Structure 1
Amino acid sequence: MDSVTQILLGSAVGYATLGSKLGRKSLLVGAGFGTLPDLDVLINFGGDVENFVYHRSFSHSLIIQLLLSPFIAWLIAKMHWAKSVSLVRWSVAIFLIMGTHALLDTFTVYGTQLLWPLSNYPFGISSVFIIDPMYSMPLLFAFIALCFTRLHPYTTKINSAALVFSSLYLTWSLAAKWHIDHKIQYALTQNMIAFKQFESTPSPFNTLLWRAVATTEQGHYEIYASIFDSTDEVSFRFYKTQNHILEDLTEDHRVPLLQNFTKGLYGVYQQNQTYIFSDLRMGLEGFYVFSFEIAKHSESRIKPSDFKQQQNRPPLSRTSLVFDRITDPGVNLSLIKTD
């Protein structure tokens, strides 16, 4: 999730675990440790591909967080202002603040390595968009309310209510995803479309309209479906890709890294003499957030490139159409023409 939401969640969990002892200081503690796991973005893991794959690895591991929490608690407990809280309580609070950060990230599609180093599998439920006001607003309301001392008799209830409401929204997102997946897969069956990999993700800022990708040997389908759509109103567009190019790049370790991290939901596109690898899960056709230049066509041969990430984010001007498409199946969200 976005950094602001993680700060708000950390503050809420911090107040729930430490508020009775530290008061409003617990909000700052929660905000700090709620941000800490994402500081791995400051680390250069060796290249653009490695930075993409290894983000949300060790810093988001529940195992590492569990092991580090008592040590961090021991350091904090030495400070004068922190002595009113027991070492055990500090340990539990720090683990819960960082752990809920990691668990919330798993509700997005990116991939969070919760069990690193035992496993580098990127867990991703893909039931909420990386920014979702419906999840964040209750936490923001609680944060603002807790900053006012005149509400002190009610702060615990306000904070608890915010955590309950935001958690209920996550529960709703799981139910919505199940409903959408069932609808889309039924529509795929009706249209006699066989696919290898499938994933659905919420469209920006909501859980009412969903975008899905279904890959085949020749390319992939980009699919849009609203909670309110009938099966016949689910929209499909097919796009050819050139994934076979990867067969000429098998010696480069970055190719399997990308294939495994994207869980097979990728496409290779030729742009003039350049080949681009795109993660199909994030963005939309023609505008994928994570795309890398992997090869160039030179002298009738495919030569590996530098795997630099390409800047190709979706245009914000299309955002309003997302909300139009929720209730109107006739709205076309595709920016690229099919072959």
Structure 2
Amino acid sequence: MDTLTQIALGAAVGQAAGYKRLGRSALALGALGGVIPDLDVFAAAALGPFAEWRFHRGITHSLIFGPLMGPVLGYALWRTFRRWRPMSRCADIDGRDPMIAVMVLALITHPLLDLFTTYGTQLLAPFSDARFSLPAIPIIDPSYTIILLAAVAFGIVGRKRWLAPAAAGIALTLSSAYLFYAWSQNDRAEAEARRQLASGGVQGADVRAYTTMFQPWLRRVVVREQNGLRVGFISTWAPTQITWTCFRSPQHPALDQVMTTSAAQVLAWFADGQVWPSLREDGQGRTIVRLTDLRYGFPGPTLAGWWGVEVTLDQNGAATDAVRIRIPSGASRDAFAALYRAGAGDVASLYQLAGSAEGPPHVSTCEMNALGPMQPGPSG
């Protein structure tokens, strides 16, 4: 999740667990614990262009990080208060255990929240690099964040401060229920997509739904078939017939070699295998293979993904270069409103917003109301 939300979650956890003993300092300590795991981005930034995918949400997002580091950080903070703020409530001998508890809980709840996003989290690091993900809410979800911020605001400025722990507990309960509600929307989107595909004669396809942005109802649906791919969007609030865009699987003798490059393997691992290739010639006898993360994207230039890698093949088909790319979305100021309209059922607004923007290469549009087997489209 975004940094603000993680700070709010940590502060709410601190408010619930340590307010009675530590007062408002518990919120600050929880907020600190809530942001610490994401400091791994600074280390990843120094390790190369693909390091963020490889190392962000790694060991600092493991289930063992909180139980191991929480007591160390909590005790160190308590000792700091004892030395520099001896009159503080946090410096009292009875403040040590609550400080440790707040830090442990804040460090644990951070990766548990990230688990409910599409991005994926290495909960078992360093023993396994498996990424776990429950596509429930987007990286930024105002509804979830506001619930926590309301409780934190009560803890800071509320007059009846003895109610602060209860307010935080209620907010944590409601926000957790929201996570599971949002997760259920992903299952609902996949079920509706399978129903529509089956009614059009498409059976046995791999159907995956993913979050979009800002709210839980609009889902991106990725369908892998034997000879290609479909991408569409659906509102679980008011489901309608999905508009599919079809991609035909490109054929190139060097594709297998491209997928063995380190850049492609890191992307495939990061994207849980949801990688799509497209090819183009650069006019100098070289082939550019673009691999994109299918879990993210909107109609227009990013339909096949927001980011990925490009691998250059020389005239002999050998991979000579690999770079990380981010594809400009071309979104306008109306994008925010269009997302909410689409979440409420007006999915066509997303395509209207894309307008005549250049789409991804090698695409053919499926008929909206006649979903049959994958139609042949242009090859790579």
TM-score (norm 1): 0.90
Match of 1:305? 321
Q: For residue 14 of structure 1, report the CA deviation from its aligned partner.
A: 0.9
Q: Which moved more, 1:56-65 or 1:89-98?
A: 89-98
**Bigger mean CA deviation after superposition, 217-226 or 163-172:** 217-226
Match of 1:237 among 242, 245, 260: 245
Aligned to 2:22: 22
Match of 1:283 in 2: 297
Tell me the distance in 2 between the aligned counterparts of 1:62 and 1:56: 11
- The reply on whether 1:158 has 2:167 as its aligned counterpart is yes
Deviates more, 1:321-330 or 1:256-265: 321-330
Aligned to 1:6: 6
More moved, 47-56 vs 309-318: 309-318
**1:320: Cα distance to partner?**
2.2
Q: Shift of residue 36 of structure 1? A: 0.5
Query: In the superposition, relative to structure 1, how do residues 312 and 197 fare at CA in structure 2: closer, same or farther (>3 Å)?
Result: farther
Letter in 1 for 2:31: A
Match of 1:168 in 2: 177
Q: Is the 8 A contact 1:219 1:267 kept in 2?
A: no
**Equivalence for 2:41:** 41
Structure 2 residue 74 is matched with structure 1 residue 66: no
Quickly say closer, same or farther: Cα 1:196–1:133, change in 2 above 3 A.
same
Tell me: CA distance 1:32–1:314, structure 2 relative to 1, closer, same or farther (3 Å): farther
Q: Give the counterpart of 2:119 among 110, 118, 121.
A: 110
Task: Say if 2:328 is the partner of 1:328.
Answer: no
- Secondary structure at the residue paired with 1:178? helix
Instruction: Give the drift of 1:90.
Output: 3.3
SS at match of 2:117: coil
Tell me, in whole angstroms, the C-alpha distance in 2 between the residues paired with 1:20 and 1:243: 65
Give the match's secondary structure for 2:322: coil
- Preserved CA contact (<8 Å) 1:24 1:146: yes
RMSD of aligned alpha carbons: 2.4
Is the Cα contact below 8 Å between 2:228 and 2:249 reproduced in 1? yes
- The corresponding residue for 1:211 is 220
Question: Would the alpha carbon gap of residues 214 and 224 (structure 1) be closer, same or farther in structure 2, given more than 3 Å must change?
Answer: same
Percent identity of equivalent pairs: 24
SS of the equivalent of 2:265 reads helix
Q: Is the 8 Å Cα contact of residues 63 and 111 (structure 2) preserved in structure 1?
A: yes
- Distance between the aligned counterparts of 2:308 and 2:73, measured in 1? 37
Task: Please state if 1:52 is matched with 2:57.
Answer: no
- 8 Å CA contact 1:289–1:314 kept in 2: the answer is no
Is the alpha carbon distance of 1:211 and 1:120 closer, same or farther for their aligned partners in structure 2, counting shifts above 3 Å? same
Task: Single out whichever of 327-336 and 131-140 deviates more from structure 2.
Answer: 327-336
Residue 50 of structure 2 aligns to a residue whose secondary structure is helix
- 1:135 is matched with which residue? 144
Shift of 1:105: 0.5
Q: Contact between 1:197 and 1:264, CA under 8 Å: does it hold in 2? A: no
- Contact kept, 8 Å, 1:2 with 1:130, in 2: the verdict is yes
| Residue identity matched to 2:291 | F
Counterpart CA distance in 1 for 2:21 and 2:118 is: 37
Q: Confirm or deny: 8 A CA contact 2:65 2:107 kept in the other structure.
A: no
1:174–1:197 distance in 2 versus 1, CA, 3 Å: same
CA distance, structure 1, for counterparts of residue 164 and residue 31 of structure 2: 17
Q: What code does the residue aligned with 1:63 have? A: I
What's the CA shift string for 1:55-91, capped at 9, x where partnerless?
1011100113222222222312313243334544433
Q: Identify if the C-alpha distance between structure 1 residues 307 and 204 changes in structure 2 by more than 3 Å, giving closer, same or farther.
A: same
- Structure 2-normalised TM-score? 0.81
- Corresponding residue for residue 292 of structure 1: 309
> What is the CA-CA distance between 1:128 and the residue it aligns to?
0.5
What are the superposed Cα offsets for residues 224-266 of structure 1, whole Å, 9 maximum, x if unpaired? 1112445x61222112354865412355233222222212211
* Structure-2 separation of matches of 1:48 and 1:192: 43
Structure 1 unmatched runs, 5+: none
**Deviation at 1:280?**
0.9
Q: What does residue 371 of structure 2 align with?
A: none
Check the 8 A contact 1:246/1:255 in 2, yes or no.
Answer: no
After superposition, residues 263-274 of structure 1 pair within 5 angstroms as 263-273=272-282, 274=288
